Amino acid sequence: MKRLTTVLATLALVLAGGGAIPAAATAATPQTAAACETGWGSQNKSEPGSLAMTGALANVRTGRHTCYDRIVFDIPGMTTADPALYWVQYVPGFNHVPSQTGIPVKGGAIIEIEFTAPVNQSQYPVELGDPLPGLDFTGYQTFRDAKFGDYYYSATHIGLGVRAKLPFRVLVLPGRLVVDVAHTW
């Protein structure tokens, strides 16, 4: 009877989380690993959208997050119901297509971002081949460089230099086109 009582008491402690199992043994999977699962892949991403955009690129900004770096293209007037048509893909080199001029972009890989919204030069003055104004990639895990490839064939072209070919996703939000690039696979 005493043995049965001891077994039941031990079982009660285990079920209640008491000292029978060390706390370190219960934490088998780190929390951060699950939080950074992306599954985004590195394949081309595109979305049918409007060729007749009422909005124009007014600003570009970036942000550092736990699992990814983010670049945001502010396009006032763009809606989720009628977004800009976009193509986002890894390319071997970044070019100004009409002139066949290469535009150097720093990084181990280059993502070309194209979308059907012109640049509002009065709000966001940028020239062919120049770094995007106002961006500083110091301290970023993934981003290295961003260059303006011009507005041609009804699309703005941006070359984004990243550390390596990594998973990315594209989000369309009211007034914004967002590209997130993961820090790791």
How much is the mean pLDDT over the chain? 84
What is the domain range of residue 23? Answer: 2-35
Same domain, 53 and 15: no
User: For residue 165, is pLDDT > 70?
Assistant: yes
Q: How many domains does the chain have?
A: 2
**DSSP structure string for the chain:** -HHHHHHHHHHHHHHTT-TTS-HHHH--S-HHHHHT-----SS-EEE--BSS-S--B-EEEEEE-SSEEEEEEE-TT--SSSPBPEEEEEESS-EETTTTEE----SSEEEEEEES--B-TTTS---TTPBPTT---TT-SSEEEEEEEEEETTEEEEEEEESSS--EEEEEETTEEEEEEES--
The pLDDT of residue 37 is 73
Q: Is residue 40 part of a domain?
A: no
Same domain, 149 and 83: yes
Predicted structure pTM score:
0.80
Same domain, 97 and 168: yes
Same domain, 27 and 51: no
User: For residue 132, is pLDDT > 60?
Assistant: yes
Any idea what the CATH number is for the domain that residue 99 is in? 2.60.40.3500
